[in-house]
Amino acid sequence: MKRCFIIAAALTICVSAMAQDVEKAEIKAPEDGFKFEVVKQNPITPVKNQASSGTCWCFSTLSFIESELIRQGCADPDLDLSEMFVVSNAYADKAVKYIRVDGHLNYSQGSSFGDVFHVLKDHGIVPDEIMTGLNYGTTKHAHYEMEAGLKGYMDGILKNPNRTLSTAWLSGLKGILAAYLGPVPETFTYKGKEYTPKSYLESLPFNADDYVDFTSWTHLSYYEKHPVEVADNWRWEQAYNIPLDDMMRIIDNAIEKGYTVAWASDVSETGFTRDGIGIVPDMEAVNAAGSDQAHWVGTLPNGRKTFNGPVKEIEITPELRQKGYEEKSTTDDHGMHLYGIAKDANGTKYYIVKNSWGLTGKYSGIWYVSESYVKYKTMDFTVHKDAVPKDIRKKLGIK
């Protein structure tokens, strides 16, 4: 595999550009009770907007991979990988399996971190400017019409009365994808050089086999691989199941050592606000506090709680995590990119998270998510294998 050579001047430009974006994203908190001090942050690329598309899995994973490329010396200051190249190829790959299992598969917009790695290994990647995926008259992603059309087409193919499929059905599906997302390029020119998707990937310092997925549930044996049991994991990707304490050790070690984390989580909780905060409030304690707490907790017109400052949080245990999973109050909602650690005025630990909802919320697309929230609501996460502490790697047999 070819690598990006580390040219000191170019690398300085690349890292400087990304660092500027981090600073831009970290707008000072408004005059409320949340005051954050950054403890550690690693380079990220600019916040993007998935808009009206269920493609957070792709936006978060490519954001994570972009940070990995920066960490490993990629000197392209315009680094921006195409989400829609991945989405188009993933839909086509998913269609083949959908037919093989007679439609008993979740053929929708959702997917997993592992799907992105498979697409890169099998198909390569292109810069975003080569395939923006906006081929249907809007300036922002809007996939619900396309999803409905693709699903209707696939179900029509399954109902074929002849039983034996023609050789045309997959080309027909790709035609729909090309109409909405644009054709997948066989070759392209970027910065004066001609590439194929695979040769462009080979020009980057990236090895898909270096990445490992983790989860933590009590119903699965620890330190073994198991399929991630969510409907969007259509490839049936596996993750190492580890104890909760090890899960948090890996995340902390990754950030402290300069790595970032692709993070899948539930975001339907009251404490995951739409203005950049993620906490697990102890609502019994909040309500018992009465007027003393009223300054920090409010109610929006839609009935959803809003938090203007730190409140007491629930103590998270493996048993509580499992209860949420079994009762379906913890579900596979959203993929994000975790890249730093901060603390609030009380010294409480938070993780700094890059979202894909555009420059929204109080921190322009960045969320501050408490340690308790990450403990409670993490579904699974992906890191570079070298970000895993050595003793855990040894238990898992990761070399």
Between β-strands 277-278 and 366-370, what pairing exists: parallel, antiparallel or unpaired?
parallel
Q: By percentage, how much of the chain surpasses pLDDT 70?
A: 87
The pLDDT of residue 394 is above 70:
yes
Task: Give the phi and the psi of residue 81 in degrees, each rounded to 5.
Answer: -85, 150
Is the predicted pLDDT of residue 10 greater than 50, yes or no?
no
Amino acid at 77: P
- Residue 283 exposed, middle or buried by CB count within 10 Å (0-12, 13-18, 19+): middle
Residue 118 CA to residue 95 CA, distance in Å, equals 15
Q: Give CA separation, 346 vs 285, 311, 350, in Å.
A: 17, 10, 11
Closest CA to 146 of 96, 108, 89: 108
Residue 103, classed as helix, strand or coil, is coil
Per-residue pLDDT for 3 more than 50?
no
Residue pair 107/151 in contact (Cβ under 8 Å)? The answer is yes
Which range has the worst mean pLDDT, 27-36, 248-257, 330-339, 344-353? Answer: 27-36
Distance CA 304, CA 269 (A): 10
Does residue 92 register a pLDDT over 80? yes
The pLDDT of residue 372 is above 70:
yes
Query: What are the distances in angstroms from CA 159 to CA 170, 286, 349?
Result: 15, 55, 54
Mean predicted lDDT score pLDDT of the chain: 89
Q: Which pLDDT score is estimated for 270?
A: 85
Whole-number pLDDT of residue 284? 75
Give this prediction's pTM: 0.89
Average the pLDDT over 44-57 and give the result: 98
What pLDDT digit, counting tens, does each position of 126-179 carry?
A: 999 999 999 999 999 999 999 999 999 999 999 988 879 999 999 999 999 999
pLDDT, greater one: 165 or 19? 165
- Tell me how far apart the alpha carbons of residues 123 and 57 are, in angstroms, rounded to a whole number: 18
Q: What angle do CA 384, 385, 391 make, to 5 degrees?
A: 140
Classify residue 363 as exposed, middle or buried by CB count within 10 Å of its CB (0-12, 13-18, 19+): buried
Cα–Cα dist 117/119, whole Å: 5
Instruction: Please report, for residues 94, 102, 157, the alpha-carbon distance to residue 163 in angstroms, rounded to integers and kept in the order given.
Output: 20, 11, 10
How far from 283 is each of 89, 306, 398, CA to CA, in Å?
44, 12, 41
Supply the pLDDT for residue 305: 65
SS3 call for 334? strand
Give me the percent of the chain exceeding a pLDDT of 90: 81
Domains of the chain: 8-280+316-396 (3.90.70.10)
User: CA–CA separation, 334 vs 134, rounded Å?
Assistant: 22
Tokens 């940070």 -> residue: 67
pLDDT at 24: 35
Q: Looking at residue 160, what is its pLDDT?
A: 87
pLDDT digits (tens, 9 = 90+) for 287-345: 665 544 454 455 656 666 677 788 889 999 999 999 999 999 999 999 999 999 999 99
pLDDT score at 27:
34
Find tokens 């910065």 and name the residue: 191
Q: Provide mean pLDDT across the span 192-210.
A: 98
CA 32 from centroid of its chain's CA atoms: 29
Binned at pLDDT 50, 70 and 90, residue 286 comes out as low
The DSSP line for 187-247 is SEEETTEEE-HHHHHHTSS--GGGEEEEE--TTS-TTEEEE--STT-TT--EEEE--HHHH
d(CA 118, CA 92): 13
CA distance 114 to 238: 9
Question: What integer pLDDT is reported at residue 161 of this predicted model?
Answer: 85
